[in-house]
Amino acid sequence: MTSTQSPFNRVVGRQMAALTARLRQYMTYSGYELIELPIMQQADLFLTKAGDQIIERLFTFERGGKEWALRPEFTAAAAHLYSRTQQPGTIVRWQFSGPTFEEDPNLWTQEYQSLSIGAEMVGVGSALADAEIMAMAAQGLSACGIDDGSLVIGHMGLLRQVLSQFDLDSRTQHFILHQLAALFNPDEGKSFVLDQLQAILYDSAMQPAEPRMMPTTTTFIGGRTQAEIERRIQQKRQRAVERERIAAALDALLDWGKVEGDAQTVLAYLQSQAKTPTVRETLNEWTDALNLLATYEIPSNRIILKPGLVRSWEYYTGFVFELYAHEQHLGGGGRYDELVQLVGGSSAVPAVGFVYYGDKLASVVPELTAHPVELRIAPDKAQDGIAVQWAQALRKRGVVVVLAEGDAHIGADGALYINQQPYALNNIEAVLLAINGVNS
């Protein structure tokens, strides 16, 4: 890995600017309006439903007694903007592009900032919306000249529903979902997760045989009442007897997580495993979205279903997906129906979105930079005024003019000389023809 991937490298920077312009234009065709979001926001916004992996890399600092962060992504900020500016139910299609930040240098660019380009659709919870986002993400790659990109698609909603069948308390479910990435990681797996849950959910001192008693002389400080403390002790005791159910839930999740393959095969298997009407209904909705992808002409051999796909951000509630091409992970996204409310909205709002990792994408797309027509006119102190007149006249016709030694000069007669051929200022069309020759 070298620093040549850095966005501050002139050549890479030009490619990234061209890529951004290309994708912006592409997303505009689907009605996605470009929005600007703050680079710096209160850290709490990003800490809500961020995975540990993200939080460890969050670039934070303190001002005025508050913790602030440089944005690590756009989705939470977009959800926050929606909660502040839109009525629940309003449908928005937003696109964004710009730098995102992390505390450690990006492995790819060796810089603390990366380029993110993406889109969010808030206010719609349909299969059509899911398909639109996935198709736009996949076909955006084609718009940049990558025709062999693939989509790996999972479903956090299904995993949540599988988990909910085990009648565990909401906090236990929360912690298990938090550990999903570890559960599906062969190096960690079930025993690792059970150890983690052991430490978090119950401890040896909380066995039912050893009830803890509140001393009668206790002074209650620290914002918690006796009832709250006793309720938590009760919850921990309850969990101690739930261990077998937790282990069974992890087994069920592992069963779903190990499946991977083409959509038809995987969906058929999952339908056979579905035990509740809710799971079957979610599977049907997922199937609808996947069928629509075919209508979008996404080839079925470019789609891999992987129900155990877990993304770094924990706000996903429905389908999730990742984009791959040239052996690079180029982006991803999914549905996050709870985030708007979590970051301040008055009610839950369905939402879906995706992001491209701009730096990686810029490195694998073919050369995108469209060089504008450029002319260099040599300055000459005696003719500077005329050189500026020529420059302004040509710039108005879309020509990039640099006043520097190069292609042309101003003669003593005030004419512009290109390849020894003089051109008069009142014959700009002839100059344009000549310039195209210079640039070709």
Partner 1 sequence: MTTQVTLALPSKGAIAEPTISFLRDSGLKIEKPNQRQYTGLMPAIPSINVLFQRVADVLYKVADGTAHIGITGYDIVQEHPHDDVLVIHPKLGFGHCSLVVAVPESWIDADTIADLMEISLDFRDDKRRNVRIATKYPFLARQFLHRHGIHHFTLVKAEGAIEAAPNLGYADIIIDLTQTGTTLRENHLKILEDGVIVESQACLIGNRRLLGADPSALASVRTLLEYIDAAQQGRGYFQIVANIHGENAQAIAHKVTQNPVTRGLQGPTIAPIIGETNNGTWHTVTIMVSQQHLLPAVEYMRSIGGTQTIVTPSRYVFLEESPTFVRLRESLK
Q: Based on CB atoms, which residue is closest to partner 1, 136 or 206? A: 206
Work out whether 347 is an interface residue with partner 1 (CB under 8 A): no
Closest approach of partner 1 to the CB of residue 47, in Å: 4
Q: Based on CB atoms, which residue is closest to partner 1, 271 or 346? A: 346
| Contact predicate 424/390, CB 8 Å | no
Among 2, 87, 219, 301, binds partner 1 (CB under 8 A): 219
Q: What one-character-per-residue DSSP string does 358-407 give?
A: HHHHHHHSPP---PPPEEEEE--GGGHHHHHHHHHHHHHTT-EEEESSSS
Work out whether 224 is an interface residue with partner 1 (CB under 8 A): yes
Which 97-136 positions form the footprint of partner 1 (CB under 8 A)?
none
Q: How far from each other are the two terminal CA atoms of the chain, in whole angstroms?
A: 35
Sheet holding 421-423, edge to edge: 400-403, 374-378, 408-410, 416-418, 421-423
| Contact predicate 422/413, CB 8 Å | yes
How many Å apart are CA 200 and CA 184, to the nearest integer? Answer: 19
Closest approach of partner 1 to the CB of residue 66, in Å: 9
Among 221, 370, 382, 412, binds partner 1 (CB under 8 A): 221
Among 84, 232, 395, 397, binds partner 1 (CB under 8 A): 232
How many Å apart are CA 404 and CA 354, to the nearest integer? Answer: 44
Which 50-89 positions form the footprint of partner 1 (CB under 8 A)?
50, 52, 55-56, 58, 60, 62, 65, 67
Considering only the stretches 228-236, 254-262, 325-333, 354-362, report the one whose residues sit in contact with partner 1 under the rule CB under 8 A.
228-236
Q: Based on CB atoms, which residue is closest to partner 1, 65 or 366? A: 65
Work out whether 207 is an interface residue with partner 1 (CB under 8 A): no
How many Å apart are CA 301 and CA 132, to the nearest integer? Answer: 19
Closest approach of partner 1 to the CB of residue 61, in Å: 10
Contact residues for 153 (Cβ-Cβ < 8 A; gap 6+): 134, 263, 290, 303, 304, 305, 306, 309, 319, 320, 321
Closest approach of partner 1 to the CB of residue 439, in Å: 47
Work out whether 233 is an interface residue with partner 1 (CB under 8 A): yes
Q: Based on CB atoms, which residue is closest to partner 1, 151 or 246? A: 246
Residue 181 DSSP symbol? H
Among 148, 169, 195, 228, binds partner 1 (CB under 8 A): 228
Work out whether 226 is an interface residue with partner 1 (CB under 8 A): yes
Contact residues for 359 (Cβ-Cβ < 8 A; gap 6+): 5, 7, 12, 16, 106, 108, 109, 114, 115
Query: In 233-382, where do the E strands start and end?
Result: 303-305, 319-325, 328-335, 351-357, 374-378
| Contact predicate 151/304, CB 8 Å | yes
Among 186, 223, 366, 398, binds partner 1 (CB under 8 A): 223
Closest approach of partner 1 to the CB of residue 64, in Å: 10
Work out whether 220 is an interface residue with partner 1 (CB under 8 A): yes
Considering only the stretches 200-208, 333-341, 350-358, 387-395, report the one whose residues sit in contact with partner 1 under the rule CB under 8 A.
200-208
Q: Based on CB atoms, which residue is closest to partner 1, 316 or 423? A: 316
Residues forming contacts to partner 1 in the complex (CB under 8 A) are 44, 47, 50, 52, 55-56, 58, 60, 62, 65, 67, 171, 174, 178, 199-201, 203, 205-206, 212, 214-215, 218-224, 226, 228-229, 232-233, 236
